[in-house]
Structures are given as C-alpha cells and as structure tokens.
C-alpha cells in the first residue's frame, strides 16, 4: 500500500474516531441535561460573605439577607447586610440542632433542622421563637409559594406543607427528562418556578411546581471553581431572590463571596 493510501486510511480512522467521541459526548450531555434548556449567568456584583457560615438557607427581604447556617454547635439564623456582609443580628440554635433551610412569609421566618424533624418559626423583627412544628424525615431546603411551605429532604421529592397547620398537602417527584433528580437541597420560589441546588453540583435546577419536570438548568460551574474552595464540603448552596428589587443572589457553604447574578439564555 502506498504512503498516500496509508495516510488517507489513517486520516479516515482519525476522523471516524473523532466523530464517535463527539457523538458519545453529545449523547452524554443530552442525557445529563435530560433535554432541559441551559442558562448561563453574568455576575453583576460581588459582596463579602462570612467564610465561617455553613450556608443552608438564604432569603432576601427588606433590603437584607436572612441566612440559616448549619453544623452542630454553630447553627444560627442571621440578618446580614448585603453590601458589607456584616451580620446585623444573629440567634444561635441549641447545640443539639443542625440548622437547614429557611424561608420568610410576611413577618415570620421558618427554619428547618436536619435530623431532628423540628421546624422553628421566628418573629422576623426580633428572632423570638413564635412556634415550632414537626415533619417526618430529614429537613434540607425550604421555600414557599404563598400558601404552602415547600420542603426538600435530600431525595428527589418535594413536600408541600400547609403554611398554617403544617400538614402535608402533597408530594412531588422531580424528574430531569425520564430520570428522578435526587439530592435536592436549598430551594427558592421564583416567578412561578422552584429553583433548587443539587448537592455537590454547580448548577441550579428550575423545576415546575405542577408536575416536577426540570424546565432548565443554570450553569454556575465557573462562578467559584472547586479548586479554590476550602474543602469538599464548601459546595454551592444558597439562592435568594429579592422580588421587589428583582435581584438574584447565590453563595455556598463557607464561601467568602456572595454573588449578585443576572441569568441569560
């Protein structure tokens, strides 16, 4: 066989191999995304964030951030100044409790705990405890749709609790295409969608509250690269949306920065 023919055949094999790899990559990406649309973000501003805060819940209200932090002996509910990152008020949880998701309805803040099955209701102005409630299983993320508390427990399920009685109204299974999406963590209800952090992933799922379908993904992989983080536990976890000012904020566990973002398709 001539050199020209050998070169032609070799080139053909290389092209075929490249196409096969590309096809496999595209197939894997399609399977990963489940057909849902992908959005990226633009960083509008960066603000200081307490790197000792093991962020479990984040809410924007009245020009402040309200944050739930975790870990036994270090859990708290906090009011934080956005621009400075300074903690304006803080109330520590009992050392036997591990703080988790947080949401605000009116003048009340609702906080979950991890494995205690205990929810705590605070007066937002004073952090005085007004009420407590019980739920089954673990507590991870928390948000609300105006009339229901929406709770994640680390699985692919979201539970809707009546905001007055705390009774479970329904349960929703989240699916990305035909696959269940586990490890749902911190939640935020934004413009009729449930946005969810997925534990150990640098992306946010946008979920339909009616059928649990993943409507799209927000890619945050370039926001704070994993190699810069203090530990493997320092994951993305914290979504807050100021409905009045239309401002979106995200941070993570032990992250030194709070990011204000704009989502673009």
- pLDDT tens-digit map of 97-130: 999 999 999 999 999 999 999 999 999 999 999 9
What fold characterizes domain 35-264?
Neuraminidase (2.120.10)
pTM of the model: 0.85
In eight-state DSSP terms, residue 227 is G
Nearest alpha-carbon partner for 37 in 249, 219, 248, 222: 219
Q: Where are the domains of the chain?
A: 1-33, 35-264
pLDDT of residue 36: 78
pLDDT of residue 265: 76
Mean of per-residue pLDDT scores for the chain:
89
First-residue to last-residue Cα distance in the chain = 52
**Alpha-carbon separation of residue 157 from 152, 181, 207, 211 (angstroms):** 7, 8, 12, 11
pLDDT of residue 35: 61
pLDDT of residue 8: 43
Whole-angstrom distance, CA of residue 170 vs CA of residue 166: 12
Give residue-wise pLDDT tens across range 126-173.
999 999 999 999 999 999 999 999 999 999 999 999 999 999 999 999
pLDDT of residue 28: 39
pLDDT of residue 6: 44
Give residue-wise pLDDT tens across range 17-48.
443 333 333 333 334 445 678 999 999 999 99
């Amino acid at each position: 066989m001539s050199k020209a023919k050998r070169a032609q055949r070799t080139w053909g094999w290389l092209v075929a191999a490249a196409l096969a790899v590309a096809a496999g990559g595209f197939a894997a990406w399609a399977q990963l995304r489940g057909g849902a649309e992908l959005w990226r973000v633009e960083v509008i501003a960066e603000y200081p964030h307490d790197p000792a805060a093991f962020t479990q819940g984040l809410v924007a209200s009245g020009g402040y951030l309200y944050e739930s932090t975790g870990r036994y002996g270090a859990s708290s509910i906090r009011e934080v100044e956005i621009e400075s990152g300074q903690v304006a008020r803080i109330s520590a949880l009992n050392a036997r409790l591990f703080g988790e998701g947080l949401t605000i309805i009116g003048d009340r803040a609702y906080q979950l705990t991890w494995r205690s099955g205990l929810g705590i209701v605070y007066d937002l102005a004073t952090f005085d405890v007004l009420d407590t409630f019980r739920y089954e299983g673990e507590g991870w993320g928390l948000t609300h749709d105006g009339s229901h508390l929406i709770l994640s427990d680390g699985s692919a399920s979201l539970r809707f609790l009546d905001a007055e009685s705390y009774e479970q109204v329904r349960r929703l299974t989240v699916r990305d295409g035909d696959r269940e999406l586990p490890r749902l963590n911190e939640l935020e209800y934004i413009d009729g969608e449930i946005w969810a952090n997925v534990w150990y992933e640098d992306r946010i799922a946008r979920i339909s509250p009616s059928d649990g379908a993943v409507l799209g993904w927000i890619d945050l992989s370039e926001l704070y690269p994993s190699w810069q983080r203090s530990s493997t536990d320092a994951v993305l976890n914290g979504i807050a949306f100021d409905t009045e000012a239309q401002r979106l904020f995200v941070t993570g566990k032990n992250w030194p920065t709070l990011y204000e973002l704009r989502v673009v398709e």
